[in-house]
Amino acid sequence: MNAFVLNRHGRMVFPSNIMPELDFSTMETLEQLDSVIRRDFETKAPSGTEILERVRTGAYGTRYDLMRDLALNLFWANRFSITMYDKRPTRWADLPRTRSDVFLPVLEPWEEGEAKVTGVQEAYPQLPSKWNEGCEDRIFDILFDVFANRRHHASTLPAVKPTVAEFLEQPGNLTFRLPHYDPDYPVYDYTDILDVSEDIPELEALHRWAMVLHNQYPWERSQVELASVDQLRDDDWVVAFHPRDKEVRAFLRRLRAGTPPRHVAGPRESRPPVRPYPELDVRQRFSVQPRIEALAAVHGDQVCSNDDLIRNTAYNWSPMSADEISSKTGIEQREYSSLPLEELALQAAEAALDKAGRQPEEIGGVLVCTCTSSRLIPSLATYLCGQLGMHQVYAAYDIIAACAGMPYGVADAVRMLQEVERPVLVVCVEKFSDKIGNVRTSRMIFGDGAAALVVGPAPEGTDGDIDYMKTYASGPASEVNSILWPNPEFDNNITVFGPQVKALAGRYLSQMIDELGKLPAPEGRDGSLMDAIDLIVPHQANKTMVIGLAERAGLTADQLYFNIEQVGNTSSASIPLAIHDAVRDGVITEPVRVFAPGFGAGAVAGYAVMRVDPAVVAVQTTSQPQEHGEMPAPAPADEAPSESASEGMREAFT
């Protein structure tokens, strides 16, 4: 499923947020599935009994609040059918009796269902509209039609349905019976769902939810009954469940075979190193001094605002407004790219080489810092060598250091300079938009982007641009695993565990600032190295979090530069992108000494204290991200549309 598409209104839509998909290739046991289902469907969803109790006690303040609970309840009631099976109405006489991949749901009558339906029906018109009465009424009509015609209890549904043969062994089993079935029953087309447009972001999301839930019952719902085997006649229709794809089939086979899950040993207790690792004084340690010859950036070309996130609220998200996202993260928008990761990297590399006035054959090494590349052979670095026409370089490799990618890349480039004495190309690139899935924490934070630096040898007898550098890695296992990708527990999407990330970032940032405070200022100046810093450009992790951590370490917010409000967290690319934007926006207008600390995923950290001359920055003047109204026509949907009957139809870091 596409990470994002643009609908006919030019609005960004995340299909995976509204059309539940689980990656069954990573699941081995029912316990794993139950954990995922509980997280995604149960913890946020009220039962019918709870909805009725809230109605009776006046707990709902607006119609929207009631409708949201109805939708969550219906997603929960469909938690297995919507993620594991295709529903196919079939004549009882035509239903295969012996196949192992055709199932019938066993259902229990919905206790007090009539009272719950009546309670909702009577309560809705008594509640005030929250935003738009007409729009809310349209959405309620869709949701209530599904809710009112539910016949079965939701809490007792098993993930694994009996085959038809197993169903027949228990004559008292109840299943759906339809007296007739119209294969042309109106459903919402895929593009209908994408093209929903409401002025209120929350209502746009809820409208899409309602349409997806409507499509779960593509038959005349008011005629559905629960019937036992002895009540079924040849011309009756039942709803057969078929595994939705080969991964579900394989999962069901694993369950039947009783394949034991793999066992992973727990981590050892973490212990600090026997002695501290020293920072590297580049001028004293190395004979070849590094000069930053160029820095170039490539931003994402699609803007995803906080309102866009709310328009795409997933069924497993807690309620949150666009303003709350801004307050929690400091992010107003993030930039996504319609380009593949390789193209982002290539554009940044070409721009940096052009700004440095270097030809590809002059480059001694290529380092690519990224944590979102799925390219293994060849590495992204060697791929770039080939694309740039570099017949041979001394070394080319990828560095997976996530949010410390730039400090790691610069450190390796400085070391490589000592051996090759010719420029090293360092590319920092990330594309998160297609690796986030429907995880809200990640979706709020991450963006796409690229930046590249040419680090060359300074002319003999002159100072280089890098004063000090240092890298760090590891920590307690909880911090090492604070950000995971791929994560089987979240459908192999990126997962952020906020408290552990904050602990890691706070630990390393405090250590860096303490170390810089003990180092002497350069050029014989008074004070410490920290006192000589003109500007701090930190990894753009989460503005609210980083400011809080910096203040606890003795810094003030006005010492730090952020561009995360506009571009989001681009991990390894965030520091060089921020330096580029500081030059572009006139924050850096003359050579300054910058402290650039990176910290984050994989329990890595690092910094460079370096001189940044705005003259070497290739300020991006083309391909700027566009507002949605200025975007090109949307890309075609990733699945063939059916005939439409519609007529206008885990938390952030802190």
pLDDT cut 70: percent of the chain above it: 94
Q: ∠ at Cα 203 (201, 204), nearest 5°?
A: 65
- pLDDT tens digits along 240-278: 999 999 999 999 999 988 877 677 778 888 888 899 899
Residue 654 confidence (pLDDT) above 50: no
**pLDDT exceeds 60 at position 527:** yes
Alpha helices in 239-388 (DSSP H): 246-257, 282-285, 306-311, 322-329, 341-356, 380-388
Contact 653, 496 (CB under 8 A): yes
The residue written with tokens 């975007």 in the block is 631
Q: State yes or no: pLDDT of 629 exceeds 50.
A: no
Q: Look at residues 154, 160, 174 and name the one whose alpha carbon lies nearest to residue 77.
A: 154
Q: What is the pLDDT of residue 398?
A: 98
Of the candidates 366, 394, 402, 397, which has an alpha carbon nearest to the alpha carbon of residue 484?
A: 402
- What would the pLDDT profile of 560-617 be if each residue is shown by its tens digit? 999 999 999 999 999 999 999 999 999 999 999 999 999 987 689 999 999 999 999 9
pLDDT at 301: 95
CA distance 11 to 629: 8
Strand residues in 193-349 grouped as ranges (E): 225-228, 237-243, 280-281, 290-299, 302-305, 333-336
56, exposed or middle or buried, with CB in 10 Å at 0-12, 13-18, 19+?
Answer: exposed
pLDDT category, 644, cuts 50, 70, 90? Answer: very low
pLDDT tens for 184-242 read 999 999 999 999 999 999 999 999 999 999 999 999 999 999 999 999 999 999 999 99
pLDDT (average), residues 521-539 = 91
Question: Residue 378: is the preceding peptide bond cis (ω within 30°)?
Answer: yes
For residues 377-387, average pLDDT = 97
Judged against a pLDDT cut of 60, whether residue 652 lies above it is answered with no
Q: What's the Cα-to-Cα distance from 361 to each of 37, 128, 392, 616, rounded to whole Å?
A: 54, 70, 8, 20
Q: What percent of the chain has pLDDT over 90?
A: 74
Average pLDDT over residues 520-541: 92
| Cα 257 to Cα 252: distance, rounded to the nearest angstrom | 9
CB within 8 Å of 654: residues ≥ 6 apart: 328, 329, 498, 502, 542, 544, 545, 548
Percent helix, percent strand, percent coil in the chain, to nearest 5: 40, 20, 40
Q: Would you say residue 464 has pLDDT above 90?
A: yes
Count, residues in the chain:
654
Is the pLDDT at 642 greater than 80, yes or no?
no
Read off the pLDDT of each residue in 9-19 and give the average, rounded to a whole number: 93
3-state secondary structure of 4: coil
pLDDT of 549 > 80? The answer is yes
State if pTM tops 0.85. yes
Is 536 in contact with 612 (CB distance < 8 Å)? no
Q: What is the pLDDT of residue 625?
A: 54
Sheet containing strand 617-618, edge to edge, reads 395-399, 365-369, 424-431, 448-457, 290-299, 617-618
Q: For residue 505, what pLDDT is reported? A: 85
The whole-number average pLDDT for the span 506-520 is 91
- Going by C-alpha positions, the residue among 389, 392, 391, 494 that lies closest to residue 445 is 494
Q: Which domains are delineated in the chain? A: 15-257 (no CATH), 280-616 (3.40.47.10)
Residue 32 or residue 61, greater confidence: 61
The pLDDT value given to residue 524: 79
Q: Report the chain's C-alpha Rg in angstroms.
A: 28
- Beta strand 535-536 pairing with 493-496: unpaired
Q: How many CA atoms lie within 13 A of 637 on its CB side?
A: 17
In whole numbers, what is the pLDDT of the chain averaged over residues? 91
